[in-house]
A and B are shown apart, each in its own frame.
Chain A
Amino acid sequence: MNFTLKVWRQKPGEKGKLVTYDSKDISADASFLEMLDVVNERLIEAGQTPIAFDHDCREGICGMCGCVVNGFAHGHQSGTTLCQLHMREFKDGSVIYIEPWRSKAFPVIADLIVDRSAFDAIITAGGYISIRTGSAPDGNAIPISKDVADAAMDVAECIGCGACVAACPNASAMLFTSAKISQLALLPQGQPERMTRAQRMVRAMEDAGFGACTNHGECEAACPKEISMNNIARLNREFIGASVKK
């Protein structure tokens, strides 16, 4: 297959621009990142700087990869990370636009790589249950019904890739934040810190420069793990609950 790529190139501290590359003789079975590998190998051989992009596991679980492809975070295929998107999903001969996540809270480092440490800051503010190593009771001491465990697992699947932020017109991080808050609010272990957790995490989210949620729903559509927007409603309840009790 052959493609024309329009790729965002940006050096640290400089302004970026779209640059055109030919991407020829690509196997339909290659993943999107393998296609970029092929283009990069050719760029290096030609003495040019290859396109910088983030990736690691290449099996859709580490959350390291991700770009906006033809206007969609992680490309147009739903429920898929960029590393799991295959070239057979594209039309032969087509033009493909590749750009980094765009958000004030995710500054571009170079080309397609952005700084997502703001997500870590949100978790640092309260995305955990405080329990010292070695002080835990027996694993079966607190029964948890299968439904609750399954619901907690549904949200715990978040890979922290940032697609929700990239897709949101307001660059809001509500889906990401609400997924963690929901997981911990559902489980009995999460109850003691429940009230302050939502407040601390939402504050950290605002401090990091993420926008507000105005219910566009783009986040849910872009999420490669298909995490539901209902979690945002739960976050709001947790947050309001906490504010009232205070």
Chain B
Amino acid sequence: MKLDSKTPDGPIEKRWDDYKFRLKLVNPANKRKFKIIVVGSGLAGASASATLAELGYNVDCFFYQDSPRRAHSIAAQGGINAAKNYQSDGDSIHRLFYDTVKGGDYRARESNVYRLAQVSNNIIDQCVAQGVPFAREYGGNLANRSFGGAQVSRTFYARGQTGQQLLLGAYSALMAQVNAKKVQLHRRTEMLELVVAEGRARGIVTRNMVTGQIESHAADAVVLATGGYGNVFYLSTNAKGCNVTAAYRAYKKGAGFANPCYTQIHPTCIPVHGEYQSKLTLMSESLRNDGRIWVPKNKGDARVPTQIPENERDYYLERRYPSFGNLVPRDVASRAAKKVCDEGRGVGSTGLGVYLDFSDAVSRLGKDGVRERYGNLFHMYEKITAENPYKVPMRIFPAVHYTMGGLWVDYNLMTTIDGCFAIGEANFSDHGANRLGASALMQGLADGYFILPYTIGDYLATVGNNPLSRDDKHFVKSVEDANGKVSTLLGIKGERTPDSFHRELGKLLWDNCGMARSDESLKSALARIPQIKDEFWQNLKVPGNGRELNQTLEMAGRVADFIDFSEILVKDALARTESCGGHFRVESQTDENEAKRDDAQFSHAAVWEYKGEGSAPERHVEPLSFEYCKPSQRSYK
């Protein structure tokens, strides 16, 4: 597998502009001859579809929900970063760039991150022009807050529903292009295969989730904007339908999968409370701006929190990290919570929880002041738990939230398969080993509005307009494969539901490849996964048939891919014997139990290549070099 990142050199401030100038252009009259498939209608997919269509390309956009507006980007709460420096608090493109590289624990490409910081400002302008109702100051200017451990206020937000408002903005731009007949929507349609011929992506195979029809679609390029794979852990803050299928199918057709072990565990989620539980709910991390996190000093202290006196509380983040306190990055906060729970000081019926206490904030700001900032979050918390956070502290616990790993892409956002691009959370590009809060929305929109539309033109201008017929043997074979898989799943007729396998896999990964990973735990997971896989293919039960709406069948297909994919996730975690960002190897920690990187051995992206059923995948590396941000041990003390 050839990993040519195509990153330009020269002064970092000028790289993207110079590069853009060198990219080939497709002349306007020719654009309308090209067809581009975009799979996904989240921030990345909707923004890319709309922009490509505005440029004149014909776009086919696929998604599994009933409307593009329902992609999981809709659920993002906290905000979106940009280097506007509207607050004059010392922010700049360079600082956003530096914070992102450092926050990612020096495991991302400098050139890509710099470009992201550069275009961040255009995103805000674009969204405002679309009518996104960002929060405003009394004077009418855009408001900002500090978020996720940043020491400047660079986060733009729309109450606690920033993702919703940004997605509705991108959706409106998309629908304008549907109206202009430049985009065709394929709702309730799931991608099952990528069609690759002679090393080039030529189209996809899909299943219509209403009729069960398996169909092929040809195009000049395929863009995967299918989101993250956090649901491999079963319980996560992702939507129920989030899956790895599209990315994994591309991997099986030759796309390198980078850093699958980089998963982000978000520190502030509502704790698990029962076996039937279907998902975990995030409580925005903005709560950490005013809430104080603590556990009892003594093990097994069963008193209700309000009865525990100040001097018997351990505000462990404030104690361990005096300068960042409750605002340390996510990975640090999550591990600290795990540590106190491992010590037996966790709270709630399961002992897997810590308090997030607003009593000081209520005294300082008044109940109305707190409501103004966090009203909708408090409301949501109370609905789920039946507890009133104005009166008793919230209970929170870390949960799987985001995946930094994803399909490897070069500077053009193209995977190792020519003509197959990956954008948004589905790629691995900009966040290294840990993503900063409010940077995923920024990256998804940067990719879709401002980067891909340029870089894809260079590819199309190079290969020209010569789509492959859907009668070609590569299409026929992919359709057969998809049909074959559906019949196999339906034909097992065993005893267990897809969900029961998914739960089992998720628990295995959470216990052995979650917040802390060791040589031993990872090897035991690797021993167990093939057993789960065997049982799945022998004992799965899917009622009904494939020629109608069949939600159990949809789940079964996704779980099958999660099981296969989990193997490279764990293998990647095993191979990376250092700790970095969200990946914590217990063997590699400092004396103070912080993550310890090993730059000499691991200053690279690990990229996995599929080698066929039954053969071990091969690990390749893309070395990383740092000219502008010199790697240092992250310290938030």
Contacts and interface: CB of A to CB of B under 8 A. Distances in A.
Interface in B167-181: 168, 171-173, 175-176, 178-179
B386 A88 contact: yes
A240 interface: no
Interface in B258-279: 273-274, 276-279
A62 B173 contact: no
B543 A117 contact: no
A206 B327 CA distance: 51
A157 B128 CA distance: 16
Interface in B61-114: 65-70, 72, 74-75, 84, 86
A143 B136 CA distance: 9
Q: Which of B54, B131, B210, B386 has the most CB of A within 10 A?
A: B131
A133 B130 CA distance: 10
A149 B130 CA distance: 13
Interface stretch (B312-320, B547-555, B559-567): B547-555
B525 to A, nearest CB: 25
Contact of A57 (B75, B124, B210, B450): B75
Contacts of A133: 47, 50-51, 54, 126, 173, 449-450, 453
B486 interface: no
A52 B72 CA distance: 20
B66 A156 contact: no
Given A116-B66, A123-B172, A128-B175, A134 B549 contact: no
A129 B276 contact: no
Interface in B110-127: 122, 124-127
B396 to A, nearest CB: 15
A153 B141 contact: no
A45 B497 CA distance: 7
Nearest to A55: B240
B136 A62 contact: no
Interface in A28-74: 29-31, 33-34, 37-38, 41, 43-45, 47-50, 52, 54-64
Interface string B125-162: 11111110111111111100000000000000011010
B543 A109 contact: no
Interface string B265-295: 0000000011011110110000000000000
Given A50-B551, A129-B131, A153 B158 contact: yes
A189 B383 contact: no
Contact of B129 (A41, A123, A137): A137
Interface residues of B, number: 81
B133 A156 contact: yes
Contacts of A54: 66
B131 A86 contact: no
B544 interface: yes
Interface in A147-182: 149-150, 152-153, 156-157, 159-160
Nearest to A123: B175
A188 B278 CA distance: 42
Interface in B328-369: none
Given A58-B240, A113-B549, A187 B86 contact: no
Contacts of B161: 61, 157
Contacts of A120: 67-69, 175, 178, 185
Given A56-B241, A62-B70, A143 B141 contact: yes
Contacts of A30: 274, 276-277
Contacts of B138: 145-146
A82 interface: no
Given A30-B276, A136-B128, A124 B67 contact: no
A64 B65 CA distance: 8
B384 interface: yes
B551 A187 contact: no
Contacts of A34: 276-278
- The main secondary structure of chain A at its interface with chain B is loop
Contact of A33 (B65, B133, B278, B499): B278
Nearest to B185: A120
Nearest to A63: B70
B131 A190 contact: yes
A27 B74 contact: no
A119 interface: yes
Interface in B359-383: 380, 383
A12 B126 contact: no
A127 interface: yes
Contacts of A159: 164
Nearest to B174: A128
Given A54-B66, A136-B126, A140-B141, A41 B131 contact: no
Nearest to B445: A133
B18 interface: no
A189 B70 contact: no
Given A45-B495, A84-B383, A133-B51, A187 B131 contact: yes
B176 A128 contact: yes
Q: Which of B65, B126, B168, B277 has the most CB of A within 10 A?
A: B168
A192 B68 CA distance: 26
Contact of B142 (A47, A124, A140, A184): A140
Q: Which of B137, B278, B500 has the most CB of A within 10 A?
A: B278
A115 interface: yes
Contacts of B178: 120, 124
Contact of A183 (B74, B122, B129, B131): B131
B512 interface: no
Interface string A183-206: 110010110000000000000000
Contacts of A55: 240
21 contacts: A43-B543, A54-B66, A56-B239, A58-B278, A59-B75, A61-B75, A61-B164, A113-B549, A117-B66, A120-B68, A124-B179, A127-B175, A133-B47, A134-B126, A136-B129, A138-B125, A144-B136, A145-B140, A149-B136, A187-B133, A189-B131
User: What 9 pairs across the A-B complex have the smallest Cβ distances?
Assistant: A143-B140, A128-B172, A136-B129, A152-B133, A149-B136, A136-B125, A153-B133, A56-B239, A133-B51
Given A37-B278, A136-B125, A157-B159, 8 more contacts: A34-B277, A58-B240, A143-B139, A143-B140, A146-B138, A146-B140, A159-B164, A160-B70
